C-alpha cells in the first residue's frame, strides 16, 4: 500500500513538477481549469437558471411535433438500433478478458474525481439582478457537501481496497457495456425529477414538485435494454457463423433506410401502384439480370457485352432526365453496377447461383424501401415535417453521408480518369464546392436555389439542404478517397491489366477496396464532421436539434415561461453532441483496430 | 451495398419528381385554387417570437401570428387545423413567399415602402401596431419619461442588420447623443448582455421589451422609453402581388375578427348572438345567403368559422399577448373609437 502511494507521488513529481518551468505551467493551468470548473458549477447551480427548460422539452428535442399516438414507431426505431448493436457486439465479441480490479480501478478514479470536485466546488455563486446589482447566493451548503463527501469517501476507499485485493475473477471486455448501461436503466426506476405543475390560474407551482419518471419513458427503455441483452446472447450464439457477420454489416447500412422509409414514416401504401408499377418493373429487371447472369459467358453473347453495358449505362444516365418511375431509375442504376461485376463472377454454377440470390435480394430490398420512401406519410403532424429535432439531425447526417459517399467515390475516380472531359468536370465540381464555405451553400439552398430553378419546380427545403450537403461532403470525401487512390502502387494496376481485367473490374475489385481501406480513419472523421455540421442548418431556420435549443424553447412563454433560458439549453445541446461524437469516434477506433490499420 | 446507394440517391430525388409534375399543373392556378387542391394552407411564421410564434413542448404552435394562420385556414377550409407552418428566418421570408413555398407570410413583418413596392409582395391590414423603444435600468437614472437625449454616452445593445439598428443610430444622431452600439445576432443575446451588465440599454420593438420585462419580473427595475416609439412598425400578413382574390380572403379574415370584436361576438356567444339586431354581422357570417363570401370563392359561413374556431381580435390578442404584459388599452392596438388604430371597413 505504502509502495503504491510512493510510486504515485514519484510519477506525479516526474510528470508535473520536473523543472521550475513545468511547475509554473502546472500551477497556472490547474488554477485556470479549477476556476473554469468553479464558474461552470456556479452557473449550473445558480437559482436564476431553469433546468426544466431542458427537461420539460425532451419530446420536442427528440422528435419535435411527431404525434404521441405514433410514438411506438419511434421506440421501434430506437429498439431496432439497440437490437442490431446487441447482435453486433455479440457477433464480434472480443476475446480480451480483464481482471475485475480494472472495474474497481475505474470506479476508484471516478470516486477520486468526484471527491476532488466536491471539495473545490464553490459554496457561493453570484448573478446579476434586474436592477444591475450582484446577487450572491449559497448554492452548495456545508451539509450538502458533507452529505456527498462522506459516502463518496467511503466508496472511494472501498474501491481502493478492492482493487488492491487479489480477486481471481476476470470478465469479458464486451460484457462490461451492459454493466454500464444497466446502471442508468435501474436509476430511471428510482430517480425523481422536478416536473412542471400548474395551479388553477395556469401558473407554475414553485418550487417544482418532484415526480417519478413517467412510465412512458421507463417501460420502453427497460424493454429495449432487455432486448439489447437478448440480442447480445443471440449474437454470441451465432458467433461462428461467418455469413451472419456479412449480413449484419449490410443490414447496418440498410437499417437507417428502413427506419426512415417505413418505420418512422408510416407510408400509406396504395396497392394499385404496387400492382401496376412496382411488380412489373421488378419482374422485368429481375428477368434481365437473370439472363445476364446465365448467358453472359456464352461466347456468342459475350461479343455483345460491351454494347449491352453501353446501352444500360446510357439508359441509367438518360433515366435521370426523363420521366419514368423512380423505381425504374434506381433499378437501371443497380443493373448497370451489377452488370459490371457479373462477367468475372458468373464463371461457375456456384458463382451464378450466388449472383442470382444477390440480385433477387438487392431488387426486393430496393423495391421495398423505395415503395416506403416514395409513398405519402400517414403521420399527421401539426407542423411542416415529420422530421424535427434529433430525428432531423440524424436524417441530415445519415442521408448526407449515404448520398455523398458514392458521389465522392465517383468524383475521386473521375478526377483520376484518363478522359480529359470527365477529369475537368470532376475537378471543377470538387474545387468549386470546396472553395465555398458550407454556410454559404446552405444559404444558397435556402434562399437562392429556389430562384434558379425553373418556374413551378419546387423542392422541399430539407431536400434542397440534402442536395447541397451531398455535394459538399461529397467533394471532401472525393479528396480523401483520392489520397487513398494515390497510395496504391502502380504494380497493382499493372497486375490487374496483366490478368486481363476490364477497367471496371480493375477499379471495383483491385483499386477501390484497397484505396477505401487506407482512408477509413479520414472517412470516419468526415462522417463525424457531417453529423456535427448538420447543426449549421439552424441558421436557415430548419428545426434541427440545435435550433430547438437556441430559438424555440427560448420563446415558450405561457404557462411554462422559459423565456431567457437559452444558455441552459445550449449547454445541454453541446453535451448531447459531445456524447454522440465521442461514442462514434471511440467505435471507429475499434473498427480500425479490427481491420488492422496502421499495423502493416 | 449497391442497392443502398441506389436507395440513397432515390430517397432524396423522388419528392422532386412528384413535385415537378404537380407544380406544372398548378402553374396558372390562383393561390386559392392551389391551396384548395392541396388541402392545407402553407403559412410562413417566425422561427420563434415570444407571444407571436411559439412552439410548445409537444410541438404544437401557438401565438398571435399563428392564430391568424389558423384563421385563414378556417376561412378557406372551415377547419383551422388544415395549416402547415414553415418557420422562416428574417433573411428567407420574402424569397420563400415569392418562390411559392408559402401562401401567406404572417411573421411579425414590418410593412415598409420598399418591401411593398420592390419585392413583389403586398401587405394586408396591420394586425399589430408596434414601435421601437428602448429599455434601461431605473438604477441608472432612467425612467419611463426618459428620451433619446438621455442615453448619451451609454452602451446600447441591439440585433444587427435590422431596421432596429438603423433607427437607433439615426435617432441618436438627430438628438446629438453619442452611443456605443453593441450589435449581436439575436435579440435574446442582446437582452442577455443587458442583464449581465455588458450594456446599459437594449432596444427593439416595444412588444419584445414589454414581454421580456414581464417574464423577468422586472417591472420596478427596468424602464421602457420614450413613451412614443422612435419608429413605426406595423405588423401584418403579407402575400404575393397580383392575386387580388387571395388578398381579399386574407384581408377580410383579419377584418372579420375586428368586426366581430366591434359587435362583441366571441367564441362563447357566437351561436346565441342576436343577428337580427346586427345585420352587418349576419352578412359577414353568411346568416342569410352569404353572397358576399361565396363571390370571394369561400363558403358562406367562412368567417363564422373563423370567429367560432379562433375568436375575435380581442380574444386573439388577450389570449396571446396579455400574459406577456401587453394590453390593448391606451395603445395603438385599441379599438378605433377608444383612440386606437384597429379599424375595419364595413361588411356590406
- CA proximity to A371, closest of A248, A253, A470, A276: A276
Q: How far is B129 from chain A (nearest CA, A)?
A: 20
DSSP state of A544: B
DSSP state of A174: T
Q: What is the pLDDT of residues A236-272, one digit of tens each?
A: 999 888 888 888 888 988 999 999 889 988 888 888 8
Q: Which residues of A touch B27 (CB under 8 A)?
A: 455-456
For residue B303, what pLDDT is reported?
94
Q: How confident is the model at residue A167 (pLDDT cuts 50, 70, 90)?
A: confident
Residue B217 in contact with partner chain A when CB distance is under 8 A: yes
Q: How far is A198 from chain B (nearest CA, A)?
A: 15
Question: Which residues partner with B84 through β-bridges?
Answer: B42
- CA proximity to B135, closest of B230, B233, B234: B230
Residues of chain B with pLDDT under 70: 1-28, 161
Burial pattern A44-83, b for ≥16 Cβ within 10 A else e, equals ebeebbbbbbbbbbebbbbbbbbeeebeebbbbbebbbbb
Assess whether pLDDT exceeds 90 at residue A428.
Answer: yes
Confirm whether A346 is domain-assigned.
no
Q: Which residues of B touch A327 (CB under 8 A)?
A: 10
Residue B227 in contact with partner chain A when CB distance is under 8 A: no
Spatial contact of A120 and A171, defined as CB atoms under 8 Å apart: no
Q: Which residues of B touch A54 (CB under 8 A)?
A: none
Q: Say which of A461, A541, A555 has its CB closest to residue B49.
A: A555
Q: Say which of B17, B50, B100 has its CB closest to residue A557.
A: B50
Which residue is listed with cell 456464352?
A: A298
Confirm whether A202 is domain-assigned.
no
Confirm whether B1 is domain-assigned.
no
Q: Are residues B239 and B123 in the same domain?
A: yes
Please state the rounded mean pLDDT for residues A281-302. 87
Spatial contact of A477 and A434, defined as CB atoms under 8 Å apart: no
Confirm whether B9 is domain-assigned.
no
Q: How far apart are the first and last CA of chain B?
A: 67
Please state the rounded mean pLDDT for residues A166-189. 87
Going by their DSSP bridges, the two strands B233-235 and B128-130 should be labelled as antiparallel
For residue B18, what pLDDT is reported?
41
Total domains, chain B: 2
Q: What is the pLDDT of residues A345-379, one digit of tens each?
A: 777 888 888 889 989 999 999 999 988 888 888 88
Where among B174, B198, B231 does a domain terminate? B231
Phi, psi of B110 (to 5 degrees): -75, 135
Q: Which residues of B touch A374 (CB under 8 A)?
A: 10, 14, 18
Whole-angstrom Cα distance, residue A136 to residue A489?
Answer: 68
Q: Are residues B116 and B171 in the same domain?
A: no
Highest mean pLDDT among A140-144, A442-446, A502-506, A571-575: A571-575
Question: Which residues partner with B265 through β-bridges?
Answer: none
Q: How confident is the model at residue A600 (pLDDT cuts 50, 70, 90)?
A: very low
Q: Are residues B79 and B162 in the same domain?
A: no
DSSP string, B27-81: TTS-HHHHHHHHTSEEEEEES-BTTTBEE-TTS-EESHHHHHHHHHHHHHHS-TT
Whole-angstrom Cα distance, residue A301 to residue A292?
Answer: 9
Q: Do A460 and B20 touch (CB under 8 A)?
A: no
Q: What CATH number has the domain bearing residue A583?
A: 1.10.3720.10
Where among B231, B261, B288 does a domain terminate? B231
Q: How confident is the model at residue A401 (pLDDT cuts 50, 70, 90)?
A: confident
For residue A384, what pLDDT is reported?
65
Please state the rounded mean pLDDT for residues A178-198. 89
Domain span including residue A10: 1-45
For residue A65, what pLDDT is reported?
84
Q: Say which of A57, A253, A373 has its CB closest to residue B14.
A: A373
- CA proximity to B321, closest of B207, B203, B232, B187: B207
Q: Are residues B299 and B320 in the same domain?
A: yes
Domain span including residue B276: 30-129+235-335
Whole-angstrom Cα distance, residue A295 to residue A301?
Answer: 7
Where among B231, B265, B300 does a domain terminate? B231
Phi, psi of A135 (to 5 degrees): -105, 125
Confirm whether A260 is domain-assigned.
no
Q: Say which of A130, A451, A559 has its CB closest to residue B218.
A: A130
Residues with Cβ within 8 Å of B272's Cβ and at least 6 positions away in sequence, in order, are none
Please state the rounded mean pLDDT for residues A576-592. 85
Q: Do A555 and B53 touch (CB under 8 A)?
A: yes
Q: Are residues B141 and B287 in the same domain?
A: no
Please state the rounded mean pLDDT for residues A405-426. 90
Whole-angstrom Cα distance, residue A87 to residue A434?
Answer: 39
For residue A382, what pLDDT is reported?
67
Which residue is listed with cell 502502387?
A: A489
Residue B277 in contact with partner chain A when CB distance is under 8 A: no
Confirm whether B5 is domain-assigned.
no
Q: Which residues of A touch B217 (CB under 8 A)?
A: 130
- A-to-B residue pairs, Cβ atoms closer than 8 angstroms: 224
Residues with Cβ within 8 Å of A284's Cβ and at least 6 positions away in sequence, in order, are none
Q: How confident is the model at residue A402 (pLDDT cuts 50, 70, 90)?
A: confident
Phi, psi of A127 (to 5 degrees): -145, 170
Q: Do A382 and B215 touch (CB under 8 A)?
A: no
For residue A83, what pLDDT is reported?
95
Total domains, chain A: 2
Q: Are residues B115 and B253 in the same domain?
A: yes
Which residues numbered 32-51 in B keep a CB inside 8 Å of some CB on A? 47-51
Spatial contact of A170 and A100, defined as CB atoms under 8 Å apart: yes
Whole-angstrom Cα distance, residue A34 to residue A244?
Answer: 50
- CA proximity to B13, closest of A34, A29, A399: A399
Residues with Cβ within 8 Å of A216's Cβ and at least 6 positions away in sequence, in order, are A71
For residue A318, what pLDDT is reported?
85
For residue A387, what pLDDT is reported?
86
Disruptive mutation site among B2, B64, B209 for chain A (greatest number of A CBs within 10 Å): B2
Confirm whether A362 is domain-assigned.
no
Q: Do A133 and B323 touch (CB under 8 A)?
A: no
Element (H, E) at B257: helix B244-262
For residue A458, what pLDDT is reported?
63
Residues with Cβ within 8 Å of A28's Cβ and at least 6 positions away in sequence, in order, are none
Q: Are residues B204 and B169 in the same domain?
A: yes
Residue of B nearest to A401 (CA): B8
Phi, psi of B205 (to 5 degrees): -60, 145
Q: Which residues of B touch A129 (CB under 8 A)?
A: 221
Spatial contact of A198 and B57, defined as CB atoms under 8 Å apart: no
For residue B8, what pLDDT is reported?
40
Distances (CA, A) of A97 to A102, A174, A176: 10, 9, 10
Spatial contact of A519 and A529, defined as CB atoms under 8 Å apart: no
Task: Indicate the SS3 state at residue B157.
Answer: strand
Q: Are residues B122 and B266 in the same domain?
A: yes
Q: Do A564 and B323 touch (CB under 8 A)?
A: no
Q: Do A556 and B57 touch (CB under 8 A)?
A: yes
Q: How confident is the model at residue A1 (pLDDT cuts 50, 70, 90)?
A: low
Q: How far apart are the first and last CA of chain A?
A: 42
Q: Which residues of B touch A456 (CB under 8 A)?
A: 20, 23-24, 26-27
Q: Are residues B81 and B114 in the same domain?
A: yes
Q: How confident is the model at residue A178 (pLDDT cuts 50, 70, 90)?
A: confident
Q: What CATH number has the domain bearing residue B312?
A: 3.40.190.10
Q: Do B47 and A130 touch (CB under 8 A)?
A: no
Confirm whether A473 is domain-assigned.
yes
Q: Do A330 and B195 touch (CB under 8 A)?
A: no
Whole-angstrom Cα distance, residue A126 to residue A136?
Answer: 4
Spatial contact of A115 and A145, defined as CB atoms under 8 Å apart: no
Mean pLDDT score of chain A: 87
* Helix axis angle, B2-26 to B31-38, nearest 10°: 140
Q: Which residues of B touch A333 (CB under 8 A)?
A: 5-6, 9
Confirm whether A461 is domain-assigned.
yes
Q: Are residues B60 and B194 in the same domain?
A: no
DSSP string, B176-207: T---EEEEESSHHHHHHHHHTTS-SEEEEEHH
Residue of B nearest to A560 (CA): B56
Q: What is the pLDDT of residues A113-147, one digit of tens each?
A: 999 888 888 888 888 888 878 888 888 888 989 99
Spatial contact of B308 and B264, defined as CB atoms under 8 Å apart: no
Confirm whether A571 is domain-assigned.
yes
Please state the rounded mean pLDDT for residues A6-14. 83
Assess whether pLDDT exceeds 60 at residue A411.
Answer: yes
Q: Are residues B125 and B34 in the same domain?
A: yes
Please state the rounded mean pLDDT for residues A11-17. 83
Q: Are residues B244 and B307 in the same domain?
A: yes
Confirm whether B316 is domain-assigned.
yes
Q: What is the pLDDT of residues A22-72, one digit of tens each?
A: 899 999 999 999 999 898 888 888 888 888 999 999 989 998 888 888 899
For residue B270, what pLDDT is reported?
92
E-assigned strand segments in chain B:
41-46, 54-55, 61-62, 83-88, 104-105, 121-123, 128-130, 132-137, 155-159, 180-184, 201-205, 222-225, 233-235, 238-240
Q: Which residues of A touch B89 (CB under 8 A)?
A: 539-541
Low-confidence winner among A198-212, A248-262, A476-490, B60-74 (lowest mean pLDDT)? A198-212
Amino acid at each position: 500500500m505504502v509502495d503504491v502511494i510512493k510510486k504515485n507521488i514519484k510519477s506525479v513529481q516526474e510528470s508535473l513538477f520536473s523543472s521550475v518551468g513545468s511547475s509554473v505551467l502546472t500551477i497556472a493551468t490547474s488554477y485556470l481549469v479549477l476556476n473554469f470548473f468553479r464558474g461552470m458549477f456556479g452557473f449550473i447551480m445558480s437559482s436564476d437558471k431553469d433546468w426544466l427548460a431542458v427537461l420539460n422539452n425532451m419530446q420536442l428535442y427528440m422528435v419535435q411535433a411527431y404525434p404521441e399516438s405514433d410514438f411506438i414507431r419511434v421506440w421501434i426505431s430506437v429498439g431496432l438500433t439497440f437490437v442490431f448493436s446487441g447482435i453486433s457486439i455479440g457477433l464480434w465479441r472480443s476475446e480480451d478478458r480483464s481482471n475485475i480490479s480494472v472495474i474497481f480501478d475505474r470506479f476508484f478514479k471516478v470516486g477520486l474525481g468526484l471527491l476532488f470536485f466536491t471539495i473545490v466546488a464553490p459554496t457561493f455563486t453570484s448573478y446579476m439582478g434586474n436592477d444591475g446589482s450582484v446577487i450572491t447566493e449559497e448554492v452548495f451548503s456545508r451539509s450538502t457537501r458533507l452529505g456527498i463527501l462522506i459516502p463518496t469517501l467511503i466508496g472511494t476507499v472501498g474501491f481502493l481496497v478492492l482493487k488492491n485485493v487479489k480477486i481471481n475473477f476476470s470478465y469479458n471486455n464486451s460484457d462490461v457495456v451492459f454493466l454500464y448501461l444497466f446502471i442508468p436503466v435501474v436509476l430511471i426506476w428510482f430517480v425523481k425529477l422536478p416536473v412542471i405543475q400548474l395551479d388553477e390560474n395556469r401558473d407554475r407551482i414553485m418550487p417544482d414538485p418532484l415526480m417519478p419518471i413517467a412510465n412512458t419513458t421507463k417501460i420502453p427503455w427497460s424493454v429495449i435494454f432487455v432486448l439489447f441483452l437478448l440480442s447480445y446472447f443471440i449474437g454470441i450464439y451465432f458467433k461462428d457463423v461467418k455469413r451472419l457477420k456479412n449480413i449484419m454489416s449490410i443490414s447496418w447500412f440498410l437499417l437507417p433506410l428502413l427506419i426512415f422509409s417505413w418505420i418512422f414514416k408510416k407510408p400509406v401504401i396504395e396497392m394499385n401502384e404496387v400492382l401496376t408499377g412496382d411488380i412489373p418493373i421488378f419482374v422485368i429487371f429481375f428477368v434481365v439480370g437473370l439472363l445476364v447472369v446465365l448467358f453472359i459467358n456464352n461466347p456468342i453473347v459475350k461479343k455483345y457485352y460491351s454494347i449491352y453495358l453501353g446501352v444500360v449505362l446510357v439508359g441509367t444516365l438518360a433515366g435521370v432526365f426523363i420521366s419514368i418511375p423512380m423505381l425504374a431509375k434506381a433499378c437501371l442504376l443497380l443493373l448497370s453496377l451489377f452488370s459490371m461485376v457479373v462477367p468475372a463472377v458468373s464463371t461457375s454454377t456456384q458463382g451464378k447461383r450466388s449472383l442470382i440470390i444477390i440480385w433477387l435480394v438487392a431488387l426486393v430490398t430496393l423495391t421495398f424501401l423505395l415503395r416506403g420512401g416514395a409513398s405519402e406519410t400517414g403521420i399527421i403532424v401539426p407542423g411542416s415535417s415529420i422530421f424535427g429535432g434529433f430525428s432531423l439531425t440524424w436524417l441530415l447526417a445519415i442521408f448526407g453521408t449515404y448520398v455523398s459517399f458514392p458521389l465522392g467515390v465517383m468524383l475521386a475516380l473521375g478526377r483520376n480518369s484518363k478522359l480529359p472531359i470527365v477529369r475537368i468536370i470532376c475537378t471543377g465540381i470538387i474545387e468549386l464546392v470546396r472553395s465555398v464555405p458550407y454556410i454559404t451553400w446552405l444559404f444558397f439552398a435556402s434562399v437562392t436555389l429556389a430562384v434558379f430553378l425553373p418556374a413551378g419546380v419546387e423542392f422541399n427545403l430539407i431536400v434542397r439542404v440534402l442536395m447541397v450537403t451531398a455535394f459538399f461532403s461529397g467533394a471532401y470525401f472525393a479528396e480523401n478517397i483520392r489520397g487513398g487512390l494515390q497510395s496504391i502502387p502502380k504494380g497493382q494496376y499493372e497486375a490487374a491489366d496483366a490478368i486481363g481485367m476490364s477497367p471496371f473490374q480493375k477499379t471495383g475489385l483491385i483499386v477501390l477496396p484497397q484505396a477505401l481501406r487506407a482512408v477509413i480513419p479520414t472517412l470516419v472523421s468526415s462522417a463525424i464532421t457531417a453529423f456535427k455540421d448538420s447543426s449549421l442548418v439552424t441558421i436557415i431556420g430548419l428545426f434541427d436539434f440545435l435550433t430547438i435549443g437556441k430559438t424555440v424553447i427560448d420563446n415558450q412563454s405561457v404557462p411554462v415561461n422559459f423565456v431567457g433560458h437559452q444558455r441552459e439549453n445550449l449547454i445541454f445541446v453541446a453535451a448531447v453532441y459531445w456524447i454522440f461524437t465521442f461514442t462514434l469516434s471511440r467505435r471507429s477506433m475499434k473498427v480500425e483496430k479490427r481491420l488492422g490499420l496502421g499495423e502493416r | 451495398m449497391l442497392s443502398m446507394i441506389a436507395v440513397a440517391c432515390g430517397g432524396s430525388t423522388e419528392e422532386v419528381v412528384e413535385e415537378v409534375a404537380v407544380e406544372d399543373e398548378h402553374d396558372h392556378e390562383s393561390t386559392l385554387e392551389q391551396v384548395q387542391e392541396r388541402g392545407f394552407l402553407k403559412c410562413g411564421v417566425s422561427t420563434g417570437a415570444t407571444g407571436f410564434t411559439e412552439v410548445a413542448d409537444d410541438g404544437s404552435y401557438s401565438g398571435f401570428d399563428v392564430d391568424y394562420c389558423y384563421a385563414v385556414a378556417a376561412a378557406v377550409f372551415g377547419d383551422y387545423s388544415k395549416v402547415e407552418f414553415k418557420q422562416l428566418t428574417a433573411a428567407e421570408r420574402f424569397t420563400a413567399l415569392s418562390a411559392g413555398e408559402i401562401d401567406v407570410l404572417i411573421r411579425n413583418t414590418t410593412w415598409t415602402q420598399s418591401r411593398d413596392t420592390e419585392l413583389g409582395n403586398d401587405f394586408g391590414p396591420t394586425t399589430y401596431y408596434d414601435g421601437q423603444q428602448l429599455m434601461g435600468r431605473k438604477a441608472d437614472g432612467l425612467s419611463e419619461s426618459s428620451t433619446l437625449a438621455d442615453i448619451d454616452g451609454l452602451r446600447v445593445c441591439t440585433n444587427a442588420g435590422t431596421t432596429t439598428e438603423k433607427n437607433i443610430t439615426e435617432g441618436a444622431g438627430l438628438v446629438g447623443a453619442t452611443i456605443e452600439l453593441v450589435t449581436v445576432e439575436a435579440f435574446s443575446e442582446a437582452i442577455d448582455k443587458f442583464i449581465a451588465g455588458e450594456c446599459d440599454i437594449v432596444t427593439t420593438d416595444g412588444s419584445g421589451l414589454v414581454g421580456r420585462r414581464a417574464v423577468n419580473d422586472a417591472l420596478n427595475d427596468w424602464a421602457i422609453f420614450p413613451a412614443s416609439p422612435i419608429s413605426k412598425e406595423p405588423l401584418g400578413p403579407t402575400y404575393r402581388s397580383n392575386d387580388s382574390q387571395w388578398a381579399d380572403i386574407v384581408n377580410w379574415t383579419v377584418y372579420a375578427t375586428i368586426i366581430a370584436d366591434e359587435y362583441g361576438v366571441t367564441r362563447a356567444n357566437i351561436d346565441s348572438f342576436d343577428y337580427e339586431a346586427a345585420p352587418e354581422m349576419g352578412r359577414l357570417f353568411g346568416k342569410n345567403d352569404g353572397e358576399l363570401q361565396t363571390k370571394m370563392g369561400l363558403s358562406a359561413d367562412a368567417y363564422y368559422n373563423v370567429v367560432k374556431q379562433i375568436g375575435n381580435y380581442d380574444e386573439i390578442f388577450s389570449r396571446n399577448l396579455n400574459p406577456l404584459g401587453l394590453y390593448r388599452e391606451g395603445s395603438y392596438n385599441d379599438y378605433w373609437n377608444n383612440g386606437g388604430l384597429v379599424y375595419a371597413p364595413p361588411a356590406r
